[in-house]
Structure 1
């Protein structure tokens, strides 16, 4: 049982040189991390295997169910090498990007993306190094894209290329991604994130690759990273197809006007909440803590607003992977979450949800459990679940009551680590007799001090216990 954490909004931490040792992982877990992210844009499979082994050891030593999110690189487009450490591009000057394999200089540079000359047109914007350098296409000739420098600056090797409003022809799932996916499946990762999603078809493509690689009884949830303008245009279909959404504000903020991102974030969170899909806010949440031990007030406010908006999770990237203060970043994020949640801000009282949003038996039972818990002032909503679906549905209604998932598989608790408000425990030998099972559950909750004698719990489950799709009863039980 994960008894370390009580916050409802979860924390995702990216691992790297600053955070991937066993001792550091134990510290991070005890400070509030629920999910660790492995960024496959960096490192070899040997590097990631070492990190995974450390995660498994830290999981065992803390007695928690820390989850692993594999983040596939996707078709990241970059420039190539220069013949010197960096070049200076001046506003009004010209600069050429070529698909030929050359060593760059002051006039031109190569790109990793062979189709660039076919995809861009005169007048298109090309952004380099997260938008710090801005070009406009003036001519496309053969393998060369000639540009005018609109915003100059210093440019060094391997910086990223962003192409806002360009229909990039490269697939979202690359050969490298498929190779990395094989590694992730082999090592039993809990979530896989797809980068640069543009349409729901991108997610279906990844889903088909997963299905072809795992046995029918397994399920690997897909997190769709929203970081392209095309994804915003197709957001409803993407949310419907994905298992979770990550609002990746880095590339999104480069390709869209900065002032558009805050309200887009709020709208996407609202859509995910209505669809019952978990949503992660990512990128630059406590960015200054890469180099300083405390965040800016604006960063603290950013985390707090994400909690108030109803995000399932907030994510740290460079702060924990390469930053100087990874532990402090997690501790501060955890404190911000706890402080906001202490305010009892009624983000979405269950009784305020219209009944028209109830679309299935699961939804109806989940909503009813929340209503009962609120009216009875219950200590917990206890979901007996085989797949985790029952707990996820209850979480959708954001009840003020604690949500406890009881399952027979640790894998399910790891999957639920990304879901708002859900904590859980494994009971592998739950008896099938309902009266005896309820007694067993009450005793286990008392033993772990999750409830106290005399308190009420709302129990949601089905018979036979731990059978897929069997949820069919709800009852109120007094503990003790």
Structure 2
């Protein structure tokens, strides 16, 4: 066995170490003052006039501190701190200034100075963590004793007549039932909500209800040809704003659309994605009320054009209101049977104000209706801090759904993993609970057998406060498996922090 020689440290090494500590201290103190100044100025300019309580103010300021800090490349500083055995700054989302102050307080004696910022106590250091847990409980309900994350399940329409199906979901671990008002009708929604309340009471397990409002439908309608033709690379597709779809010698497929703006606001070169990215094309020609699109990406073997499939226009500003006349009508049912509302197509702070104005017209509730902003579009990602700040002024429980299906179709599949991480970080910095959504355990839900990749994805979903499962024949089995996975992952990691549980496999 090789002998490890002891390291002998000279006086020169000690002096060099002190010099490095002093340099680190000066750099970190300068960084801390810049971050505090930038965040303070942003708060005064954008949020001073808002009626925020003390907790909302602290959470919003920490978000601004985080944004100011992350505009800088911290990698060189982080590595130098790691060598000294100090905080790497890699897990400070919920505690920006407290982390910087704690490191400064440790560096100061080695730099032969005193820091102007006191070392934070434990309550101050972990305020963001405690605030996030509190906000998650306000919005999503209490977490089960054995896991931090909640499980949300999208109910199918036929659940209105199947109370035993909902009972089974609650028994296996469902914490939140999702009802999508884009489908079915108020009678059906009320029946499902009643079954959820009854099952929760039967098992003594509190279950919340989230109702999505539909928002504007951006979909295909009638399609030609009606036979099973598949579009291939290089084929031409026609979208029609109004009237009937039609074909000619150059165009192999055509579809009318649910909203004329989907066609009339396109420009040459804009990308169009169909059915969660199963096909992508580029606009090559525009005539009045028509767009000709060349297919440049599709599934192997081709993609069939079908009615009632989603369209995504990542390069096109549609200017659509996220709140339709149908949504305003549906809100009357939502406020009577839901605990929270899922807000689709929200992308600007003004969209939050629009919903608040619509809710003001309805009878008051005994408890505030929670709001879940569904982040689906690039503009919503860019404006996420502003959306969080706008929601803080409403004083209602608030959370963010990472709608990965639409995000992938809007941003491109290659960017969705990066964006879901950044959304998690931004929300943690603001102590805002997140819902990890779209295609979690999709193969299991639909076919009864999970893939290896989706098992890993489901395990990583434990970093969110809630994980959503879509409807499918085996969704009850998926709830049971997810219940187990989330509990196991909680022993290993919370957010970005490893828990260092003893390993028993070796």
* Fold similarity call, TM over 0.5: yes
Residue from 221, 234, 243 that aligns with 2:383: 234
- Contact 1:4 1:30 survives alignment (8 Å): no
**Corresponding residue for residue 418 of structure 2:** 263
Shift of 1:200: 1.8
Shift of 1:237: 0.8
Gap change, CA 1:182 and 1:17, over 3 Å in 2: closer
- Contact 2:241 2:264 survives alignment (8 Å): no
Give distance in 1, aligned partners of 2:221 and 2:143: 49
**Corresponding residue for residue 431 of structure 1:** none
| 1:80-479 superposed matches below 5 A | 80-82=221-223, 84-103=226-245, 106-151=252-297, 153-185=303-335, 187-215=336-364, 218-242=367-391, 243-307=398-462, 310-317=463-470, 321=471, 323-343=472-492, 345=493, 347=495
Give distance in 1, aligned partners of 2:230 and 2:414: 28
Count of residue pairs brought into register by the alignment: 344
Give distance in 2, aligned partners of 1:156 and 1:67: 35
**Corresponding residue for residue 360 of structure 1:** none
**Corresponding residue for residue 389 of structure 1:** none
SS at match of 1:80: strand
For the pair 1:6 / 2:161, whether they are aligned, the reply is no
**Larger % of strand: which?**
1
Unpaired stretches in structure 1, ≥5 consecutive residues? 353-397, 401-480
Give distance in 2, aligned partners of 1:230 and 1:173: 17
Shift of 1:259: 2.4
Give distance in 1, aligned partners of 2:199 and 2:366: 27
- Contact 2:272 2:282 survives alignment (8 Å): yes
Give distance in 2, aligned partners of 1:342 and 1:234: 34
- Contact 1:80 1:103 survives alignment (8 Å): no
Residue from 157, 167, 182 that aligns with 1:26: 167
SS at match of 1:82: strand
Q: What CA deviation, in whole Å up to 9, does each residue of 1:406-433 have, x standing for no partner?
A: xxxxxxxxxxxxxxxxxxxxxxxxxxxx
Give distance in 2, aligned partners of 1:29 and 1:272: 28
Q: What CA deviation, in whole Å up to 9, does each residue of 1:310-359 have, x standing for no partner?
A: 31111101xxx2x121211000000000111133x35478xx9xxxxxxx
SS at match of 1:81: strand
- Contact 1:93 1:148 survives alignment (8 Å): yes
Shift of 1:6: 2.8
- Contact 2:179 2:209 survives alignment (8 Å): yes
CA RMSD of aligned residues (A): 2.5
Provide the TM-score with structure 2 as the length reference.
Answer: 0.64
Q: What CA deviation, in whole Å up to 9, does each residue of 1:121-145 have, x standing for no partner?
A: 0110111122212221112221111
Deviates further, 12-21 or 298-307: 12-21
Q: What CA deviation, in whole Å up to 9, does each residue of 1:26-82 have, x standing for no partner?
A: 221121111100012221222212212211221221222211000111112111113
- Contact 2:271 2:283 survives alignment (8 Å): yes
SS at match of 2:380: helix
